[in-house]
Amino acid sequence: MQYHFASRIARAPASFLDELFRVSADPSIISFAGGLPSSALIDTQGIAGAAREVMETDPDIALQYTTTDGYRPLREFIAQRYRNRLGIPATADEIQIVNGSQQSLDLFAKIFLDSGDHVAMERPGYLGAIEAFSLYEPVIDTVPLEADGPALAAFEHLMNHTPVKFFYGIPNSQNPSGRTYSQENRRAISECLKGTSTVFYEDDAFGELFFDHKPRLPVKRYLPDQSVIAGSFSKIVAPGMRIGWLFAPKEILRSFNIAKQAADLHSNFLCQKILHRYLTTHDLDTHIRMVTTTYHRKCRLMCDLLDDLLPMLSHTTPEGGMFLLATLPPGLTSLEVFKEGVRSKVAVLPGTPFYVDGGGMDTVRLNFSSASDEQITEGMHRLARVIKSLSAS
């Protein structure tokens, strides 16, 4: 049988995610390649208790269909957290529940992009966004990411000379680099966008994971009607629940809701009810502080081992999140480090999937959140042997 797939599938970039998850699933490999939060930090007992309470008190409603925009008490919880943490006047009517922030990327691109439209993002940029956007066949423009955010001269030039539908960025602990935009950069970006028709898509998956426990003001604070924020409970509660949200102007959400309804009617309502019960019966801030304190220790351990074992590598030093980016010594490529690393039972993620123009051959992304301290120590020694062996050959 010959299947006649849509042409967009043939033009979509090959996904590295399947290979990434395959490697991460092998228990003999110490993996720094994935993007997993620590399983040890998920409050399994608390979530199980919330699930029991929902099934004992509200099973008929929890197991039924619901509205596309999501469980209103959960949306109100999210809106109130924006008001309390960031001083943003959010309302439940500006919150749409989605199946993880990855679905938000897909649906947002679906309602904004026609074939040949321009969308812009950081360089390097999140590979999940590259894959989601590419299915709608846009032109993807990139702006170099510097230590304090997108290069402002390049950003301003792009906005002034290209009809960009939206700019996708991760201001807090960016994936893959771990870099965080400065507040000055965020203000400058908002000033560049004012007066244009470009929307700023602010992916805030890591905004609650700063090691100093201090929130950073989002671009949306300066550009309320021209920006959206995508958030997720995957990194702070549990990724398997697949509960995220989009915080956006109501006019955008009207179109987004239509696309969401056509895609799946609504996100998992049982998980929404369980999550809301958990959030309203547990101290989320205390849990997040425990998670960020642990991640800070793991990040510091990985950075110290990089400096001690592989001083020929340069690397970013994140303020939060789950990732850092390392630059390999001249003559080595990220793909050969990945392949030899897997043979030596340590995995890193090559930088190439994060570049739409073929870059990243000399960089690797390292995840420090999911491995134990002992695994980080052993894994970094394995990685050091791999890189030194390849450098000597």
pLDDT of residue 277: 98
Phi and psi (nearest 5°) for 161?
-120, -5
Residue written as tokens 């208790």? 49
| Same domain as 357, residue 244 | no
CA distances from 388 to 290, 325, 393 (A): 36, 18, 9
pLDDT, one tens digit per residue, over 78-120 is 999 999 999 999 999 999 999 999 999 999 999 999 999 999 9
Domain end, chosen from 255, 281, 307, is at: 281
Q: What is the CATH number of the domain that holds 254?
A: 3.40.640.10
pLDDT, one tens digit per residue, over 154-183 is 999 999 999 999 999 999 999 999 999 999
What are the start-end ranges of the H helices in 58-99?
59-62, 72-86
Q: What is the pTM of this model?
A: 0.95
State whether residue 96 is helix, strand or coil.
Answer: strand
pLDDT of residue 17: 66
- Close Cβ partners of 310 (under 8 Å, ≥ 6 residues apart): 326, 383, 384, 387
Query: Regarding predicted confidence, which is higher, 35 or 45?
Result: 45
Whether 48 is in a domain gets the answer no
| Same domain as 124, residue 254 | yes
What are the tokens at 118?
A: 């321009």
Residue 341 pLDDT greater than 90, yes or no:
yes
Going by the DSSP 8-state scheme, the letter that residue 179 receives in this structure is -
Whether 275 is in a domain gets the answer yes
Whether 49 is in a domain gets the answer no
pLDDT, one tens digit per residue, over 7-38 is 888 777 767 666 666 776 778 999 999 889 99
CA torsion through residues 351, 245, 170, 36, sign: negative
CA distance 391 to 393: 6
Whether 15 is in a domain gets the answer yes
Q: Whole domain around residue 321: which residue ranges?
A: 7-43+286-392
pLDDT of residue 27: 84
Residue 249 pLDDT greater than 90, yes or no:
yes
pLDDT, one tens digit per residue, over 188-235 is 999 999 999 999 999 999 999 999 999 999 999 999 999 999 999 999
Cis peptide before 176 (omega within 30 of 0): yes
Whether 57 is in a domain gets the answer no
- Mean pLDDT score, 248-265: 98
CA terminus-to-terminus distance, the chain: 48
Helix, strand, coil share of the chain (percent; to 5) = 50, 15, 35
Phi and psi (nearest 5°) for 72?
-60, -45
- Mean pLDDT score, 352-372: 95
| Same domain as 294, residue 264 | no
Q: What is the CATH number of the domain that holds 305?
A: 3.90.1150.10
pLDDT, one tens digit per residue, over 262-294 is 999 999 999 999 999 999 999 999 999 999 999
Confidence of residue 358 (pLDDT cuts 50, 70, 90): confident
Residue 255 pLDDT greater than 80, yes or no:
yes
pLDDT of residue 4: 85
pLDDT of residue 18: 67
201 strand-pairing partners: 168, 228
Phi and psi (nearest 5°) for 30?
-80, 115
| Same domain as 113, residue 259 | yes
Phi and psi (nearest 5°) for 160?
-85, -20
| Same domain as 100, residue 227 | yes
pLDDT, one tens digit per residue, over 127-142 is 999 999 999 999 999 9
